[in-house]
Amino acid sequence: MKNSTAYSLVCPHGTLHLNSPVVMGILNVTPDSFYDGGRYSNEESILIRVEQMIEEGAIIIDIGASSTRPGAKAIPVKEELSRLLPAIRSIRSHFPELFLSADTFRSEVAMEAVKAGADIINDIAGGDLDAAMFSTVAALRVPYVLMHMQGTPETMQLAPEYTDVTSEIASRFREKISLLEEAGVRQLILDPGFGFGKTVDHNYELLKNLSDFLSFGYPLMAGLSRKAMINKVLGTRPDTSLNGTTAANTIALMKGVSVLRVHDVREAAEAIKIVSKCI
């Protein structure tokens, strides 16, 4: 499957080619993430899971050390670093050519994560929770996932409100991209932030209009995996929402997404193969 633009991102450990969609596997080294919290709390379990995701087709592993589920409170920087850095170092040591993403909204953590071996910074807050994030990413010269979130993880689902969710997020992207480019950041991935300060209707409006964001000229990422927007429609739970996730991922692919961020790598990779036969 070819996207309209052949994107390539230069990372510390190689060049990530996004001319065809890829899978980003989620690895939460947290005790309280909404789906897999507590499963990967030691080096052995982390490495086993990473190897499994690679075998199933993951090109990027996104490592999160601070839960950002709805209602989650921020943990101290020291605690986030104590979870994240050992995981990055261990994975980098065992899988030297793997692309690693650090899921953090803190510039200090971003800096240390790249030093430890991360290739990409995935910031759920789009710089809103740390004023130094953009300049830090510019100095690090690594790709940056610019995600949209209304509020904070602790408050984002209390009463999300938009007049036009797609146009408002596009406007926010336009503003942030300008600031990032002025800072010298040229390698971006855009993520509208499904479930981060959006109602169910907001999320599906975004999914329907996802291709609108291609006009910015950067690759798109979608993180739909097992989220409430699926469970509330189907009456499922996070542990029973794989089929709904695959349906949503398929729509995202047909709208031009370059990166699927998922818990279930094999199923996402299979969706990419099937959709590639139709586009």
Measured between alpha carbons, how far is 61 from 115 in angstroms, rounded to an integer?
A: 17
Map tokens 């261990």 to a residue: 90
Map tokens 């904070």 to a residue: 152
Kindly report the length of the chain.
Answer: 279
Measured between alpha carbons, how far is 102 from 61 in angstroms, rounded to an integer?
A: 9
- The angle formed by the CA atoms of residues 161, 104 and 118, to the nearest 5 degrees, is 145
Active-site residue, 227 included: yes
Measured between alpha carbons, how far is 71 from 161 in angstroms, rounded to an integer?
A: 17
Catalytic residue among 83, 198, 226, 261: 261
User: In terms of Cα–Cα distance, which of 146, 79, 138, 141 is closest to 109?
Assistant: 79
Catalytic residue among 227, 237, 255, 266: 227
Active-site residue, 73 included: no
**3-state DSSP assignment of residue 40:** coil
C-alpha distances out from residue 138 to 34, 111, 124, 133, 188, Å: 31, 11, 17, 9, 11
Measured between alpha carbons, how far is 201 from 171 in angstroms, rounded to an integer?
A: 19
Measured between alpha carbons, how far is 20 from 258 in angstroms, rounded to an integer?
A: 7
Instruction: Report the catalytic residues.
Output: 227, 261
